Chain A
Amino acid sequence: MTRLITWRVFQAAVVIWAVGSIVFLLSRVAGDPTELMINEYYQDQQAEADYIRAKLGLDKPLYQQYWLFVRDLAQGDLGVSYRRGVPVNQLIRERLPSTLQLTGVVFVFVVVVGIALGVASATSRGTLYEPLLKMFAVIGQAVPNFWAGIVGIWIFAVILGWFPVAGKGGPQHYVLPVLVLGTSALAGMMRLVRASMLDSLNSEYIKLAQAKGVSRFKVVWKHALRNSITVALSYAGLLIAGLATGAIITETVFAWPGIGSLAIDSFRSRDFPVIQGVVIFFTIIYVGVNLAVDVLYIYVDPRIRYR
C-alpha cells in the first residue's frame, strides 16, 4: 500500500514538472519580455534593457535559465511579475482567499444539494418531481455558465435589484456566482448519484434489508447511499479541477477578485510570469486533488488495496 501511494506521488510530481517545463519553453517562444518593461522616458534604452535582462536572468544560456526555473519551482518560487514587479507567490497569496471562499461554498453546495437531488430523483420515479428534475438536468448541461451569469445579472441584479451586479462583499454577493458556478456541476452530480443509486437500490443486499424490515428512510440514506458514495467522491475530485476552470470564467463575469480574474488580467497585459505561475498553481491543485482522491480510494475501497 505504501508502495502504491509512493508511486502515485512520484507520478504527480512528474506531471507538475512536465507542465512546468512546457510552460517554461512556451514562455521563451513567446519572445523577449524586456520591451514590455522598458520605460520610454529612460535615456539609455539599451542599458536599461541589459539591466532588466540581467535582473531576470534572461542573459544566461537557455539551459541555465531552465535549471534556475526548475530549482525555484522545486522550492515553490514562481518568479516575479513583469508588470507589477511583485513576486507571483505574493499575488497568488493575496487572491487565493477570495477564490477559496467562492469555490468552497460552491463545493459544499454541489455536494450536499447534488447528492440530495440525486437521491430524490432516484426515489421519485413516477412522481411529479421526476420530469422536473430530468428537465433541470437536460437544461443544466446545455447552458454555458458565463451566459447564465450574465442573464442572472440582468434579471436579478438589473431588473429585480435583489443582488449586487458584481464584486465581492457580504453574503448577497455570493448568491449569483455560486449558482452560476455550481449549476452545471450540480446537474452532473445529480445524474451520477441518480444512476448509481438506481443500481444500488436494485441490488440484493437492499432487498435483504427491506425484507428484514429496515425503514425506507434508512434503506435509502444509509444502505444504498453508502454504496453510491464512492461515485460521488470521485466526482467531487473531478469537481475541484472543474471548479478551477469555472472559477476563471465566473470570476471574470462577476469581477470577483480571485486567482481566475488574476489569470485573465495577466493575459490581457501579457504578464507571462503570472500566467505561468497561475497555470502551475492550478496544475498543483489539480494533481494534488487527484492524488488525494486516489489515496482516499485506497482507504475506502478494499478491493484496490488487496489487488
Chain B
Amino acid sequence: MNTDQRREGVGRFGPGYRFRWAQAIIRLRRFPIVAGTILSLILLMGLIGPYVAPHDPRGGELKDSLLPPVWLDGGSGEYLLGTDRFGRDMFSRLVAGARISLMVSFSTVLAAAAIGTVLGIAAAQFGGIVDSLIMRLVDILLGFPLILIAIVVAVVLGPSLQNVILLIAFTVWGGYARLIRGEVLSIRERDFVAAARICGAPWHRIMFVHLFPNIVPILTVLATLQLGNIIILESSLSYLGVGIPPPTPAWGLMISDGRDYVVDAWWISVVPGVAILLTVMSMNLFGDWLRDTVDPFQRQARR
C-alpha cells in the first residue's frame, strides 16, 4: 500500500494526518483573540461563578430594590450592576445566569447531536423508506415554530429546565441528522470503507469505528456554531414565560423582569442582554474560526 492510499484512508485527523507547523501558526494567527477571551471569561463565570458571587442570586433585600449600577448617581460598590425590583444583586444574578445558559446550551447540543447522529446514520445506512421518513421529519421540524411547541409543553407539563433542554434538542437535532447523513453517504464510498467491508466487518463496526471518527471534527464545528443559537432560543422562551421558571437567574428571565421598568431602571433589561450578545457573538466567531481551521476547503468555497 503506498503512502497516498494510506493517507486517503484515514481521513482528516487519522494517524496519517501530518501536522505542519507553518500551517498551524498561520491558522493560530487568525484566532479571534477578543472573542476567545470573552468566551473563556464566560466559561470561567459558569464554572466558579456561584462561589464568587457577592450576593445570593435568588433572594434580595426589598429595601435595596431598583438601585442603579455603580457608575450612576446613587449606585454603590456593594451592588456593582445595580439591583432588580426584588433587591437582588444584578451582578450575582448575571454570573449565576452564565452557568444556566452554558448548561442549557451544552446539554442541548449534546442531546441533539446524539439523536441526530443516530438518526442520521440510520437514514444513510438503511436508505429507502427509513431515509425518506427521517429526512422528511427533519425538513418539517427544522423550520417548525419552536415557541408554539414550547407553549403547549409549558401548559401541559409546566415550564422547567429539563423541559427546555429536551424541547430545544427535539427541534434542532435535524441539523445533525442532515450533516451526518451526507457525510456518511460520501465517506462510505471511499476505499478504506470498501477494504473494511471486504475484510468482513459488520455494518455497525464500519459505522462507528471507521466512519464516525471522520465525522467528529465537522460535528464539533456544527455544535459550536449552534451553541449561540440555543442560548438565544432559550432566552426567548424564558422571556415569554414558557422556558425556565423564576426565580432561577436565567438571562432571558432577567430581561423580562426589566420590561416594565425600562423607564426607571433600564439596567435590569439592558445588562443581561449585553451578556447574551457578547456570549453569542463570541461563540459564533469562535465557531467560524474553528470551521475555517478544521475544514479549509469550506473556507475557500465560501470566499
Contacts and interface: CB of A to CB of B under 8 A. Distances in A.
Nearest to A280: B148
Interface string B273-301: 10011001100110000000000000000
A241 B148 CA distance: 11
The 8 closest A-B pairs by CB, nearest first: A147-B273, A142-B281, A142-B280, A245-B145, A30-B156, A154-B262, A279-B148, A150-B269
Nearest to B288: A138
Contacts, number: 122
B151 A267 contact: yes
B242 interface: yes
Interface residues of B, number: 40
A129 B258 CA distance: 36
Contacts of A153: 262
Interface in A194-233: 195
Interface string A158-169: 100000000000
Given A141-B280, A154-B262, A286-B143, 13 more contacts: A23-B152, A146-B255, A150-B269, A151-B273, A153-B262, A158-B263, A249-B236, A264-B151, A267-B154, A267-B155, A282-B145, A283-B148, A290-B143
Interface of B: 136, 140, 143-149, 151-156, 228, 232, 235-236, 239-242, 252, 255, 258-259, 262-263, 266, 269-270, 273, 276-277, 280-281, 284-285, 302
Nearest to A15: B140
Given A15-B140, A154-B266, A143 B277 contact: yes
Main SS class of interface, A: helix
A81 B235 CA distance: 29
A244 B266 CA distance: 28
Interface stretch (A50-58, A100-108, A270-278): A270-278
A174 to B, nearest CB: 20
Contacts of B240: 248-249, 252, 264, 267
B284 A154 contact: no
Nearest to B276: A144
A139 interface: yes
Interface in A238-263: 238, 241-242, 244-245, 248-249, 252-253, 263
Interface string A10-26: 01000100000001001
A152 to B, nearest CB: 10
Counting chain A residues whose Cβ lies within 8 A of the other chain, the interface size class is: 35 or more
A47 interface: no
Nearest to B144: A286
A268 interface: yes
Interface of A: 11, 15, 23, 26-27, 29-30, 138-139, 141-147, 150-151, 153-154, 158, 195, 238, 241-242, 244-245, 248-249, 252-253, 263-264, 267-268, 270, 272, 275-276, 278-279, 282-283, 286, 290
A259 to B, nearest CB: 11
B252 A241 contact: no
Please indicate which of the listed interface residues A11, A141, A145 has the most CB atoms of chain B within 10 Å of its own CB: A141
A282 to B, nearest CB: 6
A18 to B, nearest CB: 9
19 contacts: A11-B136, A30-B156, A139-B277, A139-B281, A141-B284, A142-B232, A144-B277, A146-B235, A147-B277, A151-B269, A151-B270, A195-B302, A238-B143, A242-B143, A244-B145, A252-B239, A253-B259, A270-B155, A275-B152
